[in-house]
């Protein structure tokens, strides 16, 4: 829609009428100034050009003045309302891809799958709800790798997670290195928005940085770490025998979360894991959308240009009439 930012500028339209009414008229000089022998012919020629002269002297300047007032009122074209991006968290996901993540002790819709596949389903749904967050992805095993830096492009994060495989970062588990890498990527972000969600099914048995040292590093840099221990208590062994699942260092994960102001969670199946990520949505909410705004495009240059062209046209017509009269 069209609107004027300064509509009071249209008050200027009455100025010519006020000047006509209020200003004193010019005095008329009586008497004959010059005798012209061909005065009758001159009147005839003036009558032939009078219409053009009047239009150029009155209507064109009047229209140009109206356009100038319109330009001064700042016409603007308002686009469709748009909501600004929501201001959320700087959220880093650290997902364990060590060898133990290949354990097929998860079930979704009656179908057996390994732990990493189950994580892809649950975390993918979690990402769809984080519009407005800058999310990054770290995959760790024997080493920790930044796969996706912090970005608003959640589809890219989800794609990188979906294409990951067990053992991509090694068969062992470097929890401390994963936390340290996340701190390095988050420490330059706003202090109250630094969040790491770390998911693992094992204990730290690789890497240069010990988990407790990493927890101190995260606390010093105000990075809040939520830890998730994921996996069933037992898994299928040879001949269908149920065996204890891979060892999990729950006390260490609890310590990391407590030291950094986060929460520790234990998930034994996909339903519990989905509930944990729903709880994380509550603990780390995405701020609501701001007030809708409408983009504005300035249009004043169009009436201003038209006014200038009309003024030049009026000047040209007046000079042309004058030349015709002088020639006659």
Q: Are residues 103 and 146 in the same domain?
A: yes
Range of the domain at 6: 2-20+39-80+294-327
User: What are the residue ranges of helices labelled H in the chain?
Assistant: 15-22, 39-54, 60-72, 115-128, 154-162, 175-186, 211-220, 250-260, 270-283, 301-327
How many other β-carbons are positioned within 10 Å of the β-carbon of residue 202?
Answer: 22
pLDDT at position 55: 46
Q: Are 193 and 90 in contact (CB under 8 A)?
A: yes
pLDDT of 322 > 50? The answer is no
Residue 288 counted as domain residue: no
Tell me how crowded residue 315 is: count the other CB atoms within 10 A of its CB.
Answer: 13
CA–CA gap between residue 248 and residue 250 (Å, rounded): 6
- Is 215 found in the same domain as 242? yes
Mean pLDDT confidence for 257-274? 89
Report the length, in residues, of the chain.
328
Using one digit for the tens of pLDDT, what is the confidence trace for 89-107?
788 999 999 988 888 878 7
For position 180, what pLDDT does the model report?
95
Domains: count for the chain: 2
pLDDT digits (tens, 9 = 90+) for 22-68: 877 766 555 555 555 555 555 554 554 444 444 446 777 788 888 88
Same domain, 129 and 254: yes
Model pTM?
Answer: 0.60
* pLDDT tens figures, 173-201: 999 999 999 999 998 888 778 899 999 98
Angle at which helices 115-128 and 154-162 cross, to 10°: 170
314/152 Cα distance (integer angstroms): 57
**175 & 247 share domain:** yes
Distance CA 274, CA 86 (A): 24
CA atoms 173, 174, 175, 178: torsion sign = negative
Of 112, 32, 97, 78, nearest to 230 by C-alpha is 97
- Beta-bridged to residue 11, according to DSSP, are none
């Amino acid at each position: 829609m069209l609107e004027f930012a300064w509509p009071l500028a249209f008050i200027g339209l009455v100025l010519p009428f006020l000047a006509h009414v209020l200003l004193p008229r010019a005095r008329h000089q009586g008497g004959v100034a010059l005798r012209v022998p061909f005065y009758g012919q001159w009147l005839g020629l003036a009558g032939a050009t009078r219409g053009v002269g009047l239009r150029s002297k009155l209507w064109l300047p009047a229209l140009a003045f109206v356009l100038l007032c319109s330009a001064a009122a700042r016409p603007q074209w308002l686009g469709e309302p748009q909501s600004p991006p929501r201001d959320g968290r700087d959220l880093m996901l650290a997902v364990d891809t060590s060898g133990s993540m290949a354990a097929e002790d998860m079930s979704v819709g009656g179908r057996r799958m390994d732990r990493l596949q189950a994580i892809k389903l649950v975390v993918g749904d979690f990402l769809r709800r984080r519009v407005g967050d800058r999310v990054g992805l770290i995959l760790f095993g024997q080493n920790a790798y930044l796969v996706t830096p912090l970005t608003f492009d959640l589809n890219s994060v989800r794609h990188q997670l979906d294409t990951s495989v067990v053992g991509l970062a090694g068969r062992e588990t470097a929890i401390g290195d994963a936390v340290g890498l996340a701190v390095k990527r988050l420490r330059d972000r706003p202090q109250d928005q630094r969040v790491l969600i770390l998911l693992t099914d094992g204990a730290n048995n690789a890497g240069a940085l010990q988990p407790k040292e990493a927890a101190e590093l995260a606390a010093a840099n105000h990075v809040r770490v939520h830890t998730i221990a994921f996996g069933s208590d037992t898994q299928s062994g040879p001949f269908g025998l149920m065996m204890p699942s891979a060892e999990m260092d729950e006390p260490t994960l609890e310590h990391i979360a407590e030291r950094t102001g986060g929460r520790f969670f234990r998930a034994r199946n996909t339903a519990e894991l989905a509930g944990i990520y729903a709880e994380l949505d509550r603990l780390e909410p995405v701020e609501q959308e701001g007030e809708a705004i409408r983009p504005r495009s300035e249009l004043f240059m169009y009436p201003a240009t038209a006014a200038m062209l009309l003024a030049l046209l009026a000047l040209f017509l007046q000079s042309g009439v004058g030349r015709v009269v002088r020639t006659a």
